[in-house]
Amino acid sequence: MSSTGLQPPRLERFRAGAQELGVAAALISSPRHVFYLTGYLPGERSPSFLLLRGPEMLLVAGESDRPRVAPGVEHDVEYYEDYSIRHVVDRRRAAARSLMDAAERLGLAREGRIGVEILDLPAFAEPALGSRERVDVTPLLRSMRAIKDPDEQDRIRRSVAVTAAGHAAARQAAVPGATELEVYAAIQAACVIEAAKPITFDGDFVSGERSWLIGGPPTRRVMRRGDLFICDLFPTVDGYWADTTRTFAVGASSPAQRELYEIVNRALEHGRKALRPGVRACDVYHEIRAVMAEAGRAQNFPHHGGHGIGLEPHESPMIIPGDDTELRVGMTVTLEPGIYVEGVGGVRLEDNYVITGDGAEAMADYPLGLEAKAG
Protein backbone atom coordinates (compact mmCIF):
# COMPACT_ATOMS: atom_id res chain seq x y z
CA MET A 1 0.00 0.00 0.00
CA SER A 2 1.50 3.29 -1.01
CA SER A 3 0.84 6.74 -2.29
CA THR A 4 4.24 6.97 -3.97
CA GLY A 5 3.67 4.63 -6.93
CA LEU A 6 2.59 5.72 -10.38
CA GLN A 7 -0.42 8.01 -9.96
CA PRO A 8 -1.87 8.58 -13.40
CA PRO A 9 -3.47 12.02 -13.82
CA ARG A 10 -6.90 10.44 -14.21
CA LEU A 11 -6.62 8.98 -10.72
CA GLU A 12 -5.91 12.44 -9.28
CA ARG A 13 -8.87 13.90 -11.15
CA PHE A 14 -11.11 11.10 -9.92
CA ARG A 15 -10.02 11.71 -6.33
CA ALA A 16 -10.83 15.40 -6.64
CA GLY A 17 -14.23 14.64 -8.17
CA ALA A 18 -15.03 12.05 -5.52
CA GLN A 19 -14.13 14.48 -2.76
CA GLU A 20 -16.67 16.93 -4.17
CA LEU A 21 -19.27 14.15 -3.84
CA GLY A 22 -18.32 13.80 -0.17
CA VAL A 23 -16.76 10.42 -0.80
CA ALA A 24 -13.96 9.39 1.54
CA ALA A 25 -13.07 6.08 -0.11
CA ALA A 26 -13.97 4.15 -3.26
CA LEU A 27 -14.16 0.61 -4.56
CA ILE A 28 -13.78 0.37 -8.36
CA SER A 29 -14.99 -2.99 -9.63
CA SER A 30 -15.40 -2.80 -13.41
CA PRO A 31 -12.34 -3.87 -15.42
CA ARG A 32 -12.70 -0.88 -17.73
CA HIS A 33 -12.54 1.61 -14.87
CA VAL A 34 -9.70 -0.19 -13.09
CA PHE A 35 -7.89 0.20 -16.42
CA TYR A 36 -9.00 3.80 -16.89
CA LEU A 37 -7.67 4.90 -13.52
CA THR A 38 -4.49 2.78 -13.24
CA GLY A 39 -3.41 1.73 -16.75
CA TYR A 40 -3.76 -1.93 -15.72
CA LEU A 41 -6.13 -3.78 -18.09
CA PRO A 42 -7.36 -6.84 -16.18
CA GLY A 43 -7.51 -10.20 -17.94
CA GLU A 44 -10.93 -11.76 -18.40
CA ARG A 45 -10.71 -14.62 -15.94
CA SER A 46 -9.76 -13.23 -12.53
CA PRO A 47 -11.74 -10.39 -10.94
CA SER A 48 -9.80 -7.22 -10.08
CA PHE A 49 -10.53 -4.30 -7.82
CA LEU A 50 -9.12 -0.84 -7.17
CA LEU A 51 -9.47 0.44 -3.61
CA LEU A 52 -8.94 4.12 -2.87
CA ARG A 53 -8.90 6.01 0.42
CA GLY A 54 -7.54 9.54 0.71
CA PRO A 55 -4.16 9.56 -1.06
CA GLU A 56 -3.75 5.80 -0.79
CA MET A 57 -4.56 3.09 -3.32
CA LEU A 58 -4.46 -0.68 -3.46
CA LEU A 59 -5.08 -2.99 -6.40
CA VAL A 60 -6.43 -6.51 -5.96
CA ALA A 61 -5.50 -8.79 -8.87
CA GLY A 62 -5.01 -12.46 -9.69
CA GLU A 63 -1.42 -13.79 -9.83
CA SER A 64 -1.93 -14.66 -13.50
CA ASP A 65 -2.46 -10.96 -14.23
CA ARG A 66 0.98 -10.01 -12.80
CA PRO A 67 2.47 -9.42 -16.29
CA ARG A 68 -0.40 -7.04 -17.10
CA VAL A 69 0.07 -4.76 -14.11
CA ALA A 70 2.11 -1.68 -15.01
CA PRO A 71 5.52 -1.66 -13.27
CA GLY A 72 4.76 1.72 -11.67
CA VAL A 73 1.91 0.35 -9.55
CA GLU A 74 3.57 -3.00 -8.86
CA HIS A 75 4.05 -2.34 -5.12
CA ASP A 76 0.46 -1.21 -4.64
CA VAL A 77 -0.94 -4.59 -5.62
CA GLU A 78 -2.31 -7.40 -3.47
CA TYR A 79 -2.16 -10.53 -5.61
CA TYR A 80 -4.27 -13.59 -4.93
CA GLU A 81 -3.59 -17.14 -6.07
CA ASP A 82 -5.75 -17.84 -9.12
CA TYR A 83 -4.02 -20.99 -10.39
CA SER A 84 -2.33 -23.88 -8.65
CA ILE A 85 -1.56 -27.50 -9.36
CA ARG A 86 -1.51 -28.21 -5.62
CA HIS A 87 -5.23 -27.67 -5.10
CA VAL A 88 -8.40 -26.63 -6.89
CA VAL A 89 -8.75 -22.83 -6.97
CA ASP A 90 -12.02 -20.90 -7.21
CA ARG A 91 -10.88 -17.57 -8.65
CA ARG A 92 -13.88 -15.57 -7.54
CA ARG A 93 -13.76 -16.95 -4.02
CA ALA A 94 -10.04 -16.14 -3.85
CA ALA A 95 -10.73 -12.64 -5.16
CA ALA A 96 -13.47 -12.08 -2.57
CA ARG A 97 -11.12 -13.11 0.25
CA SER A 98 -8.28 -10.96 -1.05
CA LEU A 99 -10.63 -8.00 -1.41
CA MET A 100 -11.71 -8.32 2.25
CA ASP A 101 -8.05 -8.37 3.37
CA ALA A 102 -7.22 -5.37 1.21
CA ALA A 103 -10.26 -3.43 2.47
CA GLU A 104 -9.17 -4.04 6.06
CA ARG A 105 -5.55 -3.02 5.41
CA LEU A 106 -6.66 0.18 3.71
CA GLY A 107 -9.45 0.93 6.18
CA LEU A 108 -11.88 1.19 3.27
CA ALA A 109 -14.99 1.13 5.49
CA ARG A 110 -13.46 3.00 8.43
CA GLU A 111 -15.43 6.22 8.03
CA GLY A 112 -17.45 8.35 5.64
CA ARG A 113 -19.27 7.44 2.45
CA ILE A 114 -17.87 4.92 -0.05
CA GLY A 115 -17.96 5.46 -3.79
CA VAL A 116 -18.96 2.37 -5.79
CA GLU A 117 -20.10 1.51 -9.30
CA ILE A 118 -23.66 0.59 -8.35
CA LEU A 119 -24.44 -1.36 -11.55
CA ASP A 120 -20.97 -2.98 -11.80
CA LEU A 121 -20.62 -4.20 -8.25
CA PRO A 122 -20.59 -7.97 -7.64
CA ALA A 123 -22.62 -8.97 -4.60
CA PHE A 124 -19.59 -10.86 -3.26
CA ALA A 125 -17.71 -7.54 -2.92
CA GLU A 126 -20.28 -5.96 -0.62
CA PRO A 127 -18.89 -7.21 2.72
CA ALA A 128 -15.81 -5.04 2.02
CA LEU A 129 -18.06 -1.98 2.22
CA GLY A 130 -19.26 -2.69 5.76
CA SER A 131 -22.37 -0.70 6.62
CA ARG A 132 -21.10 2.53 5.06
CA GLU A 133 -23.36 4.62 2.87
CA ARG A 134 -22.74 4.01 -0.83
CA VAL A 135 -22.48 6.69 -3.47
CA ASP A 136 -22.57 5.81 -7.17
CA VAL A 137 -19.44 7.22 -8.82
CA THR A 138 -20.44 5.94 -12.28
CA PRO A 139 -21.74 9.37 -13.41
CA LEU A 140 -18.43 10.94 -12.32
CA LEU A 141 -16.43 8.33 -14.25
CA ARG A 142 -18.62 8.70 -17.33
CA SER A 143 -18.29 12.45 -17.24
CA MET A 144 -14.48 12.15 -16.97
CA ARG A 145 -14.39 9.61 -19.79
CA ALA A 146 -16.32 11.85 -22.17
CA ILE A 147 -13.18 13.95 -22.74
CA LYS A 148 -10.30 11.79 -23.96
CA ASP A 149 -6.76 12.50 -22.79
CA PRO A 150 -4.05 12.51 -25.48
CA ASP A 151 -2.93 8.95 -24.55
CA GLU A 152 -6.53 7.78 -24.96
CA GLN A 153 -6.83 9.46 -28.35
CA ASP A 154 -3.62 7.70 -29.39
CA ARG A 155 -5.05 4.34 -28.39
CA ILE A 156 -8.22 4.97 -30.35
CA ARG A 157 -6.11 6.01 -33.37
CA ARG A 158 -4.24 2.72 -33.06
CA SER A 159 -7.54 0.82 -33.18
CA VAL A 160 -8.71 2.96 -36.10
CA ALA A 161 -5.50 2.06 -37.96
CA VAL A 162 -6.38 -1.59 -37.41
CA THR A 163 -9.77 -1.05 -39.06
CA ALA A 164 -8.04 0.64 -42.02
CA ALA A 165 -5.96 -2.51 -42.52
CA GLY A 166 -9.16 -4.53 -42.34
CA HIS A 167 -10.91 -2.41 -44.97
CA ALA A 168 -7.89 -2.65 -47.28
CA ALA A 169 -8.12 -6.45 -47.00
CA ALA A 170 -11.89 -6.39 -47.60
CA ARG A 171 -11.44 -4.25 -50.70
CA GLN A 172 -9.12 -6.94 -52.13
CA ALA A 173 -11.08 -9.98 -50.97
CA ALA A 174 -14.69 -8.99 -51.74
CA VAL A 175 -14.84 -10.48 -55.23
CA PRO A 176 -17.54 -12.53 -56.96
CA GLY A 177 -17.36 -16.14 -55.74
CA ALA A 178 -15.92 -15.37 -52.29
CA THR A 179 -18.06 -16.18 -49.25
CA GLU A 180 -18.69 -13.56 -46.58
CA LEU A 181 -16.77 -15.83 -44.20
CA GLU A 182 -13.73 -15.94 -46.47
CA VAL A 183 -13.71 -12.16 -46.72
CA TYR A 184 -14.15 -11.93 -42.94
CA ALA A 185 -11.17 -14.25 -42.42
CA ALA A 186 -9.03 -12.04 -44.68
CA ILE A 187 -10.13 -8.94 -42.76
CA GLN A 188 -9.42 -10.52 -39.40
CA ALA A 189 -5.97 -11.66 -40.53
CA ALA A 190 -5.09 -8.15 -41.71
CA CYS A 191 -6.32 -6.63 -38.44
CA VAL A 192 -4.28 -9.06 -36.31
CA ILE A 193 -1.12 -8.45 -38.36
CA GLU A 194 -1.62 -4.68 -38.05
CA ALA A 195 -2.31 -4.86 -34.28
CA ALA A 196 0.61 -7.29 -33.88
CA LYS A 197 -1.40 -9.34 -31.41
CA PRO A 198 -4.75 -11.08 -31.00
CA ILE A 199 -7.52 -8.52 -30.59
CA THR A 200 -11.17 -8.46 -29.64
CA PHE A 201 -13.14 -8.02 -32.78
CA ASP A 202 -16.76 -7.45 -33.70
CA GLY A 203 -18.63 -6.05 -36.66
CA ASP A 204 -21.16 -6.42 -39.46
CA PHE A 205 -20.35 -8.38 -42.61
CA VAL A 206 -23.38 -8.52 -44.89
CA SER A 207 -23.57 -8.76 -48.68
CA GLY A 208 -26.28 -8.77 -51.34
CA GLU A 209 -29.79 -9.13 -49.95
CA ARG A 210 -28.28 -9.33 -46.44
CA SER A 211 -26.90 -5.79 -46.86
CA TRP A 212 -30.35 -4.22 -46.69
CA LEU A 213 -30.87 -5.83 -43.28
CA ILE A 214 -28.26 -3.37 -41.87
CA GLY A 215 -25.94 -5.85 -40.10
CA GLY A 216 -25.07 -9.32 -38.91
CA PRO A 217 -22.22 -11.82 -38.73
CA PRO A 218 -20.59 -13.25 -41.87
CA THR A 219 -22.15 -16.39 -43.36
CA ARG A 220 -21.40 -18.92 -46.11
CA ARG A 221 -23.27 -16.71 -48.58
CA VAL A 222 -21.34 -16.51 -51.85
CA MET A 223 -20.92 -12.96 -53.12
CA ARG A 224 -22.18 -12.22 -56.62
CA ARG A 225 -21.24 -9.56 -59.10
CA GLY A 226 -23.37 -6.50 -58.37
CA ASP A 227 -23.68 -7.14 -54.61
CA LEU A 228 -22.93 -4.47 -52.08
CA PHE A 229 -20.86 -5.61 -49.09
CA ILE A 230 -21.06 -3.65 -45.82
CA CYS A 231 -17.92 -4.00 -43.73
CA ASP A 232 -18.41 -2.44 -40.29
CA LEU A 233 -15.40 -3.12 -38.06
CA PHE A 234 -15.16 -2.52 -34.33
CA PRO A 235 -11.98 -3.94 -32.88
CA THR A 236 -10.35 -3.05 -29.60
CA VAL A 237 -6.59 -2.85 -29.17
CA ASP A 238 -5.26 -2.07 -25.67
CA GLY A 239 -8.69 -1.36 -24.23
CA TYR A 240 -9.97 1.31 -26.65
CA TRP A 241 -12.46 0.73 -29.43
CA ALA A 242 -12.60 2.08 -32.95
CA ASP A 243 -15.62 1.72 -35.22
CA THR A 244 -15.43 2.40 -38.96
CA THR A 245 -17.44 1.21 -41.96
CA ARG A 246 -16.87 0.98 -45.69
CA THR A 247 -19.23 -0.41 -48.31
CA PHE A 248 -17.80 -2.20 -51.33
CA ALA A 249 -19.37 -3.05 -54.67
CA VAL A 250 -18.59 -6.64 -55.61
CA GLY A 251 -17.38 -6.67 -59.20
CA ALA A 252 -19.53 -3.77 -60.37
CA SER A 253 -22.09 -1.29 -59.05
CA SER A 254 -25.40 -0.15 -60.54
CA PRO A 255 -26.47 3.48 -60.99
CA ALA A 256 -29.05 2.99 -58.19
CA GLN A 257 -26.31 1.76 -55.84
CA ARG A 258 -24.02 4.62 -56.74
CA GLU A 259 -26.86 7.03 -56.04
CA LEU A 260 -27.29 5.60 -52.52
CA TYR A 261 -23.55 5.83 -52.03
CA GLU A 262 -23.51 9.51 -53.03
CA ILE A 263 -26.30 10.35 -50.57
CA VAL A 264 -24.56 8.55 -47.70
CA ASN A 265 -21.25 10.15 -48.59
CA ARG A 266 -22.88 13.60 -48.53
CA ALA A 267 -24.56 12.80 -45.21
CA LEU A 268 -21.22 11.78 -43.68
CA GLU A 269 -19.52 14.93 -44.96
CA HIS A 270 -22.43 17.07 -43.75
CA GLY A 271 -22.32 15.41 -40.33
CA ARG A 272 -18.58 15.92 -40.06
CA LYS A 273 -18.96 19.63 -40.78
CA ALA A 274 -21.56 19.90 -38.01
CA LEU A 275 -19.13 18.54 -35.39
CA ARG A 276 -17.80 21.33 -33.17
CA PRO A 277 -17.82 22.31 -29.49
CA GLY A 278 -21.19 23.52 -28.24
CA VAL A 279 -23.26 21.67 -30.83
CA ARG A 280 -25.64 19.11 -29.34
CA ALA A 281 -25.44 15.42 -30.29
CA CYS A 282 -29.09 15.50 -31.44
CA ASP A 283 -28.32 18.44 -33.74
CA VAL A 284 -25.62 16.39 -35.48
CA TYR A 285 -28.15 13.58 -35.94
CA HIS A 286 -30.64 15.98 -37.51
CA GLU A 287 -27.97 17.40 -39.85
CA ILE A 288 -27.28 13.88 -41.14
CA ARG A 289 -30.95 13.09 -41.40
CA ALA A 290 -31.61 16.31 -43.31
CA VAL A 291 -29.38 15.09 -46.16
CA MET A 292 -31.28 11.80 -46.23
CA ALA A 293 -34.62 13.64 -46.21
CA GLU A 294 -33.57 15.97 -49.01
CA ALA A 295 -32.82 12.90 -51.11
CA GLY A 296 -36.17 11.33 -50.16
CA ARG A 297 -34.42 8.61 -48.16
CA ALA A 298 -35.20 9.55 -44.54
CA GLN A 299 -37.30 6.40 -44.10
CA ASN A 300 -34.34 4.24 -45.22
CA PHE A 301 -32.12 5.57 -42.41
CA PRO A 302 -33.48 3.70 -39.37
CA HIS A 303 -30.56 3.83 -36.93
CA HIS A 304 -28.45 6.29 -34.95
CA GLY A 305 -26.19 8.75 -36.74
CA GLY A 306 -23.23 7.77 -34.59
CA HIS A 307 -22.06 7.51 -30.99
CA GLY A 308 -19.13 8.12 -28.69
CA ILE A 309 -16.25 5.62 -28.78
CA GLY A 310 -13.66 4.84 -26.14
CA LEU A 311 -13.55 2.20 -23.42
CA GLU A 312 -16.89 0.92 -24.71
CA PRO A 313 -17.89 0.43 -28.34
CA HIS A 314 -20.96 2.62 -27.75
CA GLU A 315 -20.71 5.39 -25.18
CA SER A 316 -21.87 8.96 -24.62
CA PRO A 317 -22.60 11.07 -26.63
CA MET A 318 -25.17 9.16 -28.70
CA ILE A 319 -25.84 10.85 -32.04
CA ILE A 320 -29.61 10.33 -31.75
CA PRO A 321 -32.67 12.61 -31.52
CA GLY A 322 -32.88 11.76 -27.81
CA ASP A 323 -29.45 12.94 -26.63
CA ASP A 324 -28.90 16.67 -26.12
CA THR A 325 -25.35 16.28 -24.77
CA GLU A 326 -23.21 19.20 -25.93
CA LEU A 327 -20.04 18.30 -27.81
CA ARG A 328 -16.80 19.37 -26.15
CA VAL A 329 -13.14 19.47 -27.15
CA GLY A 330 -11.56 16.04 -26.73
CA MET A 331 -14.72 13.98 -27.26
CA THR A 332 -14.30 11.12 -29.72
CA VAL A 333 -17.28 10.14 -31.83
CA THR A 334 -18.15 8.04 -34.80
CA LEU A 335 -20.60 9.09 -37.51
CA GLU A 336 -22.29 6.34 -39.50
CA PRO A 337 -25.03 7.35 -41.91
CA GLY A 338 -26.58 4.42 -43.78
CA ILE A 339 -29.33 3.77 -46.32
CA TYR A 340 -30.90 0.35 -46.85
CA VAL A 341 -33.13 -0.32 -49.85
CA GLU A 342 -34.64 -3.70 -50.65
CA GLY A 343 -33.64 -4.86 -54.11
CA VAL A 344 -30.81 -2.34 -54.38
CA GLY A 345 -28.61 -2.87 -51.32
CA GLY A 346 -27.37 -1.23 -48.14
CA VAL A 347 -24.71 1.45 -47.99
CA ARG A 348 -23.10 2.63 -44.75
CA LEU A 349 -20.03 4.81 -44.32
CA GLU A 350 -18.43 5.52 -40.96
CA ASP A 351 -15.42 7.38 -39.66
CA ASN A 352 -14.12 8.39 -36.23
CA TYR A 353 -13.42 11.95 -35.16
CA VAL A 354 -12.02 13.90 -32.24
CA ILE A 355 -13.69 17.22 -31.45
CA THR A 356 -11.22 20.13 -31.71
CA GLY A 357 -11.43 23.83 -30.83
CA ASP A 358 -13.06 24.78 -34.12
CA GLY A 359 -14.45 21.56 -35.57
CA ALA A 360 -13.39 17.92 -35.70
CA GLU A 361 -10.44 15.94 -36.96
CA ALA A 362 -10.73 12.53 -38.64
CA MET A 363 -8.75 9.89 -36.72
CA ALA A 364 -7.59 8.13 -39.90
CA ASP A 365 -7.75 8.74 -43.62
CA TYR A 366 -8.57 5.36 -45.17
CA PRO A 367 -10.31 6.23 -48.47
CA LEU A 368 -14.02 5.97 -48.99
CA GLY A 369 -15.16 4.62 -52.36
CA LEU A 370 -17.41 1.82 -53.49
CA GLU A 371 -14.94 0.07 -55.76
CA ALA A 372 -13.47 -3.19 -54.50
CA LYS A 373 -9.97 -4.20 -55.69
CA ALA A 374 -9.27 -0.48 -56.28
CA GLY A 375 -7.22 0.14 -53.14
| C-alpha span between 59 and 102 (Å, rounded) | 8
For 171, 179, 186, 369, the CA distances from 373, given in Å and listed in that order, are: 5, 16, 14, 11
Residue list 142-181, contact with a copy of itself (CB under 8 A):
181
Q: Are 185 and 240 in contact (CB under 8 A)?
A: no
Here's the x/- map for a copy of itself, 207-226, by CB under 8 A: it reads as ----------xxxx------
22 binds a copy of itself (CB under 8 A): no
Residue list 269-288, contact with a copy of itself (CB under 8 A):
285
- Options 52-60, 83-91, 353-361, 364-372: segment touching a copy of itself (CB under 8 A): 83-91
Beta bridge partners of 355: 360
From 3, 19, 84, 356, residue interacting with a copy of itself (rule: CB under 8 A): 84
| C-alpha span between 348 and 141 (Å, rounded) | 32
Question: Which residues neighbour 364 within 8 Å (Cβ) at sequence distance 6 or greater?
Answer: 157, 160, 161, 163, 164, 244, 351, 352
Instruction: State the minimum distance, in angstroms, from the CB of residue 151 to a copy of itself.
Output: 22
Dihedral over Cα of 258, 263, 268, 273: its sign = positive
From 6, 147, 192, 364, residue interacting with a copy of itself (rule: CB under 8 A): 192
Instruction: State the minimum distance, in angstroms, from the CB of residue 76 to a copy of itself.
Output: 25
From 86, 131, 150, 255, residue interacting with a copy of itself (rule: CB under 8 A): 86
Give phi and psi for 88, each to the nearest 5. -75, 130
How many residues touch a copy of itself under the rule CB under 8 A: the total is 45
Candidates 261, 7, 256, 312; CA nearest to 142 is 312
Of all helices (H) and strands (E), which one includes residue 185? helix 180-195
Instruction: State the minimum distance, in angstroms, from the CB of residue 201 to a copy of itself.
Output: 7
Q: Which is nearer to a copy of itself, 110 or 286 (CB)?
A: 286
Q: Which is nearer to a copy of itself, 202 or 294 (CB)?
A: 202
Residue list 320-359, contact with a copy of itself (CB under 8 A):
320-323
For 38, 47, 162, the CA distances from 28, given in Å and listed in that order, are: 11, 11, 30
Q: Which is nearer to a copy of itself, 14 or 301 (CB)?
A: 301
Q: Which is nearer to a copy of itself, 120 or 259 (CB)?
A: 120
Binding site for a copy of itself (CB under 8 A): 84-88, 90, 92-93, 96, 118-126, 181-182, 184-186, 188-189, 192-193, 196-198, 201-202, 217-220, 285, 303-304, 316, 318, 320-323
